Amino acid sequence: MNQIREKVTWRNRRICRDEVMKDKVSLPYVNATIREVQRIAAVAAVATPHALLEDTYIDCKVVPKHTVILCHLMSVLYDPTERQEPEKFRPERFLGEKGEMIKPEVFCPFSMGPRTCIGQQLASNEVFLFFTSFLQRFNCTKVNKDDSSLTNGERTGETRQPDPFQMCLKPI
Ligand code: HEM
């Protein structure tokens, strides 16, 4: 197997990768699962600080020029007025009646507007490639049924990351 892998040229690798990206449109449940992970475990809880260039009205109230604005992305992603039971992991919320992908208006793990994440497309493609390659190669289970390390908690800084946890990965 390793010998076959070594024979794959860089050019062939690129072709394989293009083929895999083509599959993205025909894997709605996988895409919905990735979106739900990005929603429920958003990497950035808060967007980069931005300052107002001029006095701005929000809900009829004036917000003065130079005010620093911090958009709390998690509060949007967990907004109960936008989606039911936001604390539950439910990929189906990103699927339509026929199982097709739907993009809700309010979905902002990469923030929104003119200063939205410039790496969004790259990150989305890389996450898709990693996740699908991973699922094709490993069966992934808890180390034991009662293991609570998966729900330990998180460390929040500039970005969020989970506390260390254990998983059992068996090559397929
Ligand atoms: C899952 C991965 C990623 C997430 C969740 C993410 C999220 C974000 C968020 C929330 C912002 C703040 C936008 C705002 O202030 O309104 C941002 C900005 C930015 N991101 Fe990402 N990002 C990711 C990956 C990447 C990658 C791979 C790159 C580069 C290759 C990148 C480059 C940038 C840059 C340059 C900005 C600043 C944009 C600006 O101020 O105009 N990001 N990102």
Ligand 1 lined by 118 (C-beta under 6 Å): yes
* pLDDT for 166 beyond 70: yes
pLDDT band at 16 (very low <50, low <70, confident <90, very high): low
User: So what's the ipTM on this one?
Assistant: 0.97
**Å from CA of 91 to ligand 1 middle:** 23
In this structure, what token pair is assigned to residue 132? 């699908």
- Residue 114: helix, strand or coil by DSSP? coil
CA–CA dist 30, 127 (Å, integer) = 11
- Specify the CATH number for the domain of residue 107: 1.10.630.10
pLDDT tens-digit readout, 78-88: 999 988 999 99
Average pLDDT, rounded, for the chain: 86
CA nearest 160: which of 81, 45, 50?
A: 45
Ligand 1 binding pocket includes 110 (Cβ within 6 Å): yes
pLDDT of residue 19: 61
Residue nearest to atom 17 of ligand 1 (CA): 117
Instruction: Give this prediction's pTM.
Output: 0.85
Ligand 1 centre and the CA of 76: distance in Å? 17
Task: Determine the atom of ligand 1 nearest the C-alpha atom of 73.
Answer: 10
Say how many Å lie between the CA of residue 49 and the centre of ligand 1.
12
pLDDT tens for 23-63 read 888 999 999 999 999 999 999 999 999 999 999 998 999 99
Whether 44 is in the pocket of ligand 1, judged by its Cβ within 6 Å, is: yes
Counting beta carbons within 10 angstroms of the beta carbon of residue 72, is it exposed (0 to 12), middle (13 to 18) or buried (19 or more)? exposed
Is 51 a pocket residue for ligand 1 (Cβ < 6 Å)? no
Rounded to whole angstroms, how far apart are CA atoms 123 and 35?
12
Overall domain count for the chain: 1
Instruction: Judge if the beta carbon of residue 45 lies within 6 A of ligand 1.
Output: no
Range of the domain at 21: 2-171
Q: Does the annotation flag 108 for ligand binding?
A: no
